[in-house]
Structure 1
Amino acid sequence: MLTRPSIRALGVTGPAALLLLLPWLIYGSAVVQRYGMRDDYSILREAREEPGKILRVCAAMGRPLYGWLLETSVREAGDIDGLSGMRALSVVGLGLLGAAVFLLLRKEGWPTAPAALLAAFLTVMPSAQVIASWSICWPQAVALLLTVGAYALARRGFEAPPEALWRRGAWCLGGVVAMATATLIYQVSGLFYAVLLAAALVLRQDTDLRAPARWMARHLAVMGGGLGAAFVITKLSFALGLFAPSPRITFETHFLDKAAWFVTQVLPNALALNVLNATGSAPPLAFWPMVALTLTVVVLGVFVVGRRVGRAGVSTWLVGLLVLTAAAYSVSFLASERWPTYRTLYALTGVWSVYFVASLLNLGRRWPVHGPRAVTALLGIFVVVSALLAHQHSLELFAFPQGRELALLEEGARQVMPARQPRVFVLTARQSDSSAPLRYLDEFGSVSVDSEWVAKEMFRALVEERFPGERDVNRLYRFAAGPVLPEPRNYDILVDMRQQQRSRPIHLAR
């Protein structure tokens, strides 16, 4: 017979277990497909032929642990089929992330159903889709988990009695170390700390602004301490000659211009939550309506907070939203690069997702009898639609288009006859040649074989599969690639990567 404590435990462990499985249900069919993306093919060779190169390249951008994890996993993957194992690691990481966030939300006081739905959404939004669908992104999931651990450790420290300074300091130091470790894997993943801060902040009902300000300042000190420690370690590695800094590590100098770019190019992608933007064309029809809906719901949520708590509550929400929005994009804002990819938007979208869900819950409480259930049902529909979109995107914007590119090159690789040493020419594709229904930058629906180096790496990997015993497959053929088709007499095998949209449907599953 179930006792009341066991029922309460089941109410926590049940959703947590489902959240562990959810990413497999969504991304599993894409994980097992045979495909790769751009860098995937070059790192397969580099891990085998140039040990340490992947580590050095990543460390040059302040991500030494990313390089170590990536090089180790690629060496184990071995070939194109092994890339699916790396994507499986991403899915495992996202499942653990969803379960961990849910458990933390419950500790903060979130109701079970909204906590589970919010945690689920954080594993299906566009930023998570990139991590699940691109094999080299799997270390980012590790960094996200470390960030959740950093918050949990700091939270434990701040809950310690004031007289137990050593205990409080030890827990907070653990949080700083976890945060620094996450940052040394992938800088922007460490900013996920802001999402957990937002989830705790929206539940506070302080009548004095000083209390939430002190609470947030302590947590931001842990977050900043981890970021700062990682920066110092990176600079020391450069100063000691362990690694050479990348030219890409430069700081922004035109902050007003960067702020305008952020508001117009970055923030709308986060506010659209589950709707993708597009490159080279107008955004999908649902994009701007979703941006407007998010802003409207959050404004109404702030209004309800004002009615319930007063001016202090409104100030806490608005200041918290402003500060955490800045914190969630701080690393990318300070960097000189302007590349609003979804893999850099995880924390920013997460912060606005928290406020969106919390605002809906506040609106539901205005009608105590049916409001909370109605809002939970709406959230459930929203997450289900988001999950279906994530499943569709992982297949139609990652696995299938990239698989078609691979299949076209594979047809050319099958024509290589070593005795003849054929001349191979790959006519590189343009991004507009993508067979995907939508394209966004170098992530969703993008073309991999739009440059000579990618074509060369992909073709070599495919020929190596045909002749696994050959020590140097480069001597079996003569390779060239480019955007202009040469005279027919200059090649024996032509691979036209611009025929992707006209290519016949192919079965991509292994």
Structure 2
Amino acid sequence: MGAPFTQRRASLGWTAALLFFVPLATYWSTIFHRYGMRDDYAILREAREEPGKILKVCSSIGRPFYGWLLETSTRAAGGIDGLCWMRLAAAVCLGLLGSSLFLLLVQEGWSLPIAALLAASLTLTPSAQVIASWAICWPQALALLLGTGAFALASRGMRCPPGARARWGWWLLAALTMASATLTYQASGLFYAVLLAASLTVRRDDTLKETLQRMARHLCVMGVGLGLAFLTTQILYVTGVFTRSPRIAFETHWLSKAGWMVTDVLPHVLALIVLDDTRGTPSVGYLAMVVLTLTTVTLGIVLEGRRAGATGYWRWLLGLVTLSGAAWCVSFLAGERWPTYRTLYALTGVWTVFFAASLVNLGALRPSRGQQLATALLGVFAIAGALLGHRQSFELFAAPQGRELALMEEGVRQIALAKHPRVFVITARQNDTSAPLRYLDEFGSVSIDTEWVAKEVLKMLLAERFPDVQERNSLYRFAAGASAPEPRAYDVVIDMRRLRQAGGDFHAQLDSHDASSRKDVRSTQ
């Protein structure tokens, strides 16, 4: 018996190690591409010139840990080229998340191949792509890890004998970890619900009562953690340590919010690995994935009812509805309505788990080769997620943002500070994006569409080109707007509307400008 046990431990170790490298391999080209994304530029400057500001701003919206992590890491990054290390930190956290998920899934009872493919898929969703591609989002990946850790600690407490003091100790530690995740990024801490969904779907012999009791205990741990985080922020506001932001407002029209969730949020979740495009009607692939997910999960619930009777049916149905609510509860309670992918990670994860479990149920229709069929189908899903993740993170984040930066660098090379130039940036509109697809302020969006972003990018690039010049910002006059200025009113005009020009020659030209600008920057240092 020793040899099989040792072999299984080795398989677990090697698989966990392999899963760690999945996000790194998927997002590698994006991580080390030279670019920044909207707020990246301002936060780089603020970390250096206005110490404490980032912490105060993040704390004002209930994320003090996020603020500290972001300010510390951005100060260490130093400049645009240093943003890659923040993106690398996100990918490392996602790799650790994949490894942790795999080990926890196996511990809960999932088969090794299904657990590995499911864990990999959960690090390749559009939500994960945003976190890996946007430097300032890296603390969100850490919050995902903390939410996962909270579940692991709570589960450890569940295994203690009833009434044992150790059980309460583990649960308290789990609640504190959940609170830490919430104080980092509220929506990411709710990833706890994804593990709870995985536990529910794999425990096929539990009664409805046992399922409800188990869910209730875990949801209590989540609730206590959320409550502790909320109480902490309120104390910080009341004592004057930080000022509460007007953005912290609770939803007052709950029925309307629930309807909006079904029509404007849930379809993005059901599409799993396929992106929506806010510029037009959804693509055929997007709609097909929504239908496929709904059909697969519905069949999975029906087959569970067929296998275990009404108990199985209600266990899955109640679990799906309850855990979907738990995974999205912060966004539901918040007054804002902004369905970004970075806030949908936990909810997408819950549906991905039920999708995978439903594939297992479908495979069970063929006892002889059903397991292999389910594994193959989930493998295709994971591979598709990896290919889309690699392509979308680069083509919708790194490449278009790199082109924006290259256009600004092209203009900066025309600036001679000794002549006290007048610089005007014609800002782009969101429809000017060079990306083939756009979704809100994430995939394919334009960064330099406002004066403040243009100003921050210009400051960063001038600091790179003239590192030894003192008081650089006083040596030129800056203005920006959506329309071209009067002729000869400015010495240097940077037209960001050129992004909308089509054709590979234009993109190749910008890429060559990007390469030459790196050389210019190195030569001045």
TM-score w.r.t. length of structure 2: 0.95
Corresponding residue pairs, total: 508
1:499 pairs with 2:502: no
Where do residues 5-404 of structure 1 align in structure 2 (5 Å cutoff)?
5-164=5-164, 166-206=165-205, 208-404=207-403
Q: Partner letter of residue 415 of structure 2?
A: V
CA deviations 1:81-100 (Å, max 9, x no partner) are 00001000001000000000
Q: CA deviation at 1:471?
A: 3.2
Q: Partner letter of residue 265 of structure 1?
A: D
| CA gap 1:91/1:207 in 2 versus in 1, 3 angstroms | closer
Could you tell which deviates more after superposition, 277-286 or 202-211?
A: 202-211
C-alpha distance in 2 between matches for 1:339 and 1:304: 35
**Secondary structure of the residue that 1:82 maps to in structure 2?**
helix
CA contact (8 A) 1:271 1:352 kept: yes
Where do residues 429-444 of structure 1 align in structure 2 (5 Å cutoff)?
429-444=428-443
C-alpha distance in 2 between matches for 1:498 and 1:262: 34
C-alpha distance in 2 between matches for 1:126 and 1:208: 35
Q: Partner letter of residue 401 of structure 1?
A: P
| CA gap 1:417/1:207 in 2 versus in 1, 3 angstroms | closer
C-alpha distance in 1 between matches for 2:411 and 2:145: 42
Q: CA deviation at 1:203?
A: 1.3
Q: CA deviation at 1:449?
A: 0.3
C-alpha distance in 2 between matches for 1:10 and 1:188: 35
Identity of aligned residues (%): 59
**Secondary structure of the residue that 1:110 maps to in structure 2?**
coil
Q: CA deviation at 1:379?
A: 1.0
**Secondary structure of the residue that 2:58 maps to in structure 1?**
helix
**Secondary structure of the residue that 2:457 maps to in structure 1?**
helix
CA deviations 1:30-75 (Å, max 9, x no partner) are 1010000010000111001100000000000000000000000000
Q: CA deviation at 1:162?
A: 1.4
**Secondary structure of the residue that 2:204 maps to in structure 1?**
coil
Q: CA deviation at 1:389?
A: 0.4
C-alpha distance in 1 between matches for 2:19 and 2:36: 27
Q: CA deviation at 1:207?
A: 6.0
Q: CA deviation at 1:228?
A: 0.5
Q: Partner letter of residue 104 of structure 1?
A: L
CA contact (8 A) 1:207 1:309 kept: no
CA deviations 1:335-369 (Å, max 9, x no partner) are 01000000000000000000000000011011011
Q: Partner letter of residue 154 of structure 1?
A: A
C-alpha distance in 2 between matches for 1:375 and 1:208: 25
1:408 pairs with 2:411: no
Residue equivalent to 1:486: 485
CA contact (8 A) 2:64 2:184 kept: yes
1:423 pairs with 2:432: no
C-alpha distance in 1 between matches for 2:342 and 2:395: 18
C-alpha distance in 2 between matches for 1:274 and 1:11: 28
CA contact (8 A) 1:94 1:141 kept: yes
**Secondary structure of the residue that 1:107 maps to in structure 2?**
helix
TM-score w.r.t. length of structure 1: 0.98
C-alpha distance in 2 between matches for 1:56 and 1:472: 27
| CA gap 1:83/1:264 in 2 versus in 1, 3 angstroms | same
**Secondary structure of the residue that 1:282 maps to in structure 2?**
coil
Which sections of structure 2, spanning at least 5 residues, go unmatched? 519-525
CA contact (8 A) 2:432 2:500 kept: yes
CA contact (8 A) 1:150 1:178 kept: yes
**Secondary structure of the residue that 1:490 maps to in structure 2?**
coil
**Secondary structure of the residue that 2:425 maps to in structure 1?**
strand
C-alpha distance in 1 between matches for 2:306 and 2:313: 9
Q: CA deviation at 1:285?
A: 1.6
CA deviations 1:209-264 (Å, max 9, x no partner) are 21111110000000000001000001111000011111110000011111111000
| CA gap 1:225/1:207 in 2 versus in 1, 3 angstroms | closer
C-alpha distance in 1 between matches for 2:471 and 2:385: 46
Q: CA deviation at 1:206?
A: 4.2
C-alpha distance in 2 between matches for 1:470 and 1:211: 69
C-alpha distance in 2 between matches for 1:84 and 1:41: 13
**Secondary structure of the residue that 2:478 maps to in structure 1?**
strand
C-alpha distance in 2 between matches for 1:222 and 1:461: 45
Deviating 4+ runs (over 4 angstroms)? 507-510
- RMSD of aligned Cα (Å): 1.1
**Secondary structure of the residue that 2:423 maps to in structure 1?**
strand
CA deviations 1:430-467 (Å, max 9, x no partner) are 00000000000000000000000000000110000011
C-alpha distance in 2 between matches for 1:444 and 1:180: 30
Q: Partner letter of residue 240 of structure 1?
A: T
**Secondary structure of the residue that 1:286 maps to in structure 2?**
helix
Q: Partner letter of residue 173 of structure 2?
A: G
C-alpha distance in 1 between matches for 2:465 and 2:366: 66
CA contact (8 A) 2:359 2:377 kept: no
Q: CA deviation at 1:476?
A: 2.4
C-alpha distance in 2 between matches for 1:93 and 1:54: 22
Residue equivalent to 1:468: 467
**Secondary structure of the residue that 1:162 maps to in structure 2?**
coil
Q: CA deviation at 1:3?
A: 2.4
C-alpha distance in 2 between matches for 1:428 and 1:101: 43
